[in-house]
Amino acid sequence: MEKEMTGADRRKKLILLMRESEQPLSGTQLGQVTGVSRQVVVQDIALLRTEGYPIVSTAKGYLLNEPKCATRVLKVCHTNEQVEEELTTIVDLGGTVLNVMVNHRVYGRVEAALNIRNRRDVQGFLNDLRTGKSVPLLNVTSGYHFHKISAESEEVLDEIEHALQKKGFLAEVMPYEQETHA
């Protein structure tokens, strides 16, 4: 018997389907692929929009209105005091920090959308941390975490990766992590 998809997994699948499609996808189509009703898809789309995904509704269905770009997952390690340096390095070179992920030994994979595109977003994120809204996920894994980063080209991603390496922020991806973060 196949395990039912969680809401978070279903929303990830919706984003993936919209990213891969050249045409709008109807709520009915998305529901059939994910095994839920059209109404559940409508609710998921609303949740994804609140997370910052630029989803457009058309007469023929839903589109993800983001420019086609290159993405890469990088494993990094640093202190709380270096969060700003890490994020500004990425955005100053033209990258967007799409998310943060950690592999916790008890809780498993924990992931949160960030969508940090510029220094203003960096400052907003840091302000949320300073005011006690939350603490960085890196604290639960001794500084180790992953970021999915997007940029307009692979060359820009190479430049970002090189800059993070030069600052000592890049960490080695372990063999067991290769498939879960690819």
Q: Which residues are annotated binding-site positions? A: 78, 86, 145, 147
Q: From the CB of residue 125, how many other CB atoms can be counted at a distance below 10 Å?
A: 21
Q: What is the DSSP string of 80-134?
A: GGGHHHHHHHHHHTT-EEEEEEEEETTTEEEEEEEEE-SHHHHHHHHHHHHTTS-
Q: What token pair was written down for 7?
A: 């809401």
Known binding-site residue numbers for Ni(2+): 78, 86, 145, 147
Q: What token pair was written down for 72?
A: 């890469």
Residue 157 in contact with residue 149, Cβ under 8 Å? Answer: yes
CA separation for the pair 14, 88 (Å, rounded): 30
